[in-house]
Amino acid sequence: MSEISTLGEFGLIDRLTENLPKLNESTLRGVGDDAAVMHYESKNDVLVTTDLLLENVHFDLTYVPLKHLGYKSAVVNFSDIYAMNGCPRQITVSLGISRRFTIEHIEELYAGIRLACEAYGVDLVGGDTSASNQGLVISITCLGEAQRDKIVYRDGARPTDLICVSGNLGAAYMGLQLLEREKVASAGRKDFVPDFSGKEYLIERQLKPEARRDIIEELASAGIKPTSMMDVSDGLSSELIHICKQSDTGCRVYEDRIPIDYQTAVMAEELNMNLVTAALNGGEDYELLFTVPLTDKEKIDNLKDVRLIGYVTDKAEGCAMVTRDGNEIPLKAQGWNPLKEENQE
């Protein structure tokens, strides 16, 4: 294992950014100058989003492999661009690296970032690398592009619109619970082998989420432009409230329509947790939540891996979930919010 100080900042950057491919026409110059240079088609708008990930707040290296962490750090940014109905094109990666990380560690992290970039056709064009005395810090910014009349915001939902969600919810959260359980069980035991059998899907959803490019492509093929859209990072409940607040509407979603994977249900049972609460508030699903006009119902029914879960109402109706027995429970934004948690200094 090699100490980073043997390379220094510029040596490390040279090593990490060796032979970077150029996957996009819009990328003119990448790493190596005061700024990267891009050119976008004049008919397109430019999108920018950014995510900050801090060790022991957003990730725990006890059970998160660095390559997976790199992959996920990039993908969560791509997800934000897809959530605008856009296409991610470039990222910049800033790292704060504490002394316990070796060159090989950072190469692992970068291997994951590069893999995500390759999978989604995104160029790594710049960043900043520095020492940290505070564990690992990852800040990624993603640029994307979209035709102006295709961009979907959060504020366009209208009463009677249908509410749809891709994939299933709560699995990433259950994966996290499982990893935390095995971490506790393994404490102090060197020979410990975690037991994930039959729950591989949950682990994968937590450690290696994918952004739903496929759904964006499906929507385009089907000629559907959502009236509003966002990705589910903080939990369905919190995101529905965002859309309704910004669109000045209310909503009803049906408990029995919320898509939940079999493994998620088994795990909730095992942990004695409320399944629907986990699916509503778990977060980190990176599924797409969107609304479409009622007239698109038939088109939506034909999409694979998209579920219709409710409808948009007047603002006065508020935001609520209709339970299996027909009661209404107001939605609360009790999503994952580290600024309200205990894991602080």
CB of 201 to its own copies, least distance (A): 26
Can you say whether the dihedral through the CA atoms of 220, 49, 208, 93 is positive or negative? positive
185-224 residues near its own copies, rule: CB under 8 A: none
| Cβ closest to its own copies, residue 61 vs residue 266 | 61
Does residue 251 sit in helix, strand or coil? strand
Whole-angstrom distance, CA of residue 79 vs CA of residue 75: 6
Does residue 105 sit in helix, strand or coil? helix
CB of 11 to its own copies, least distance (A): 9
Phi, psi of 309 (to 5 degrees): -115, -5
| Cβ closest to its own copies, residue 169 vs residue 229 | 229
219-278 residues near its own copies, rule: CB under 8 A: 229-231, 246
β-strand pairing of 123-131 with 87-97? parallel
| Cβ closest to its own copies, residue 133 vs residue 221 | 133
Tell me the one-letter amino acid at 278. Answer: A
The Cβ of residue 128 has, within 10 Å, a number of other Cβ atoms equal to 12
Buried b (16+ CB within 10 A) or exposed e, 19-32: ebeebbebbeebbe
116-155 residues near its own copies, rule: CB under 8 A: 125-135, 137, 139, 141-144, 148, 151, 153-155
Length of the chain: 345
In the shown chain, the binding pattern of residues 99 to 118 toward its own copies, with x for contact by CB under 8 A and - for none, equals xx------------------
39 forms part of the interface with its own copies (CB under 8 A): yes
CB of 190 to its own copies, least distance (A): 24
- Binder of its own copies out of 8, 21, 198, 330 (CB under 8 A): 8
Number of residues that bind its own copies (CB under 8 A): 81
- Binder of its own copies out of 20, 57, 111, 119 (CB under 8 A): 57
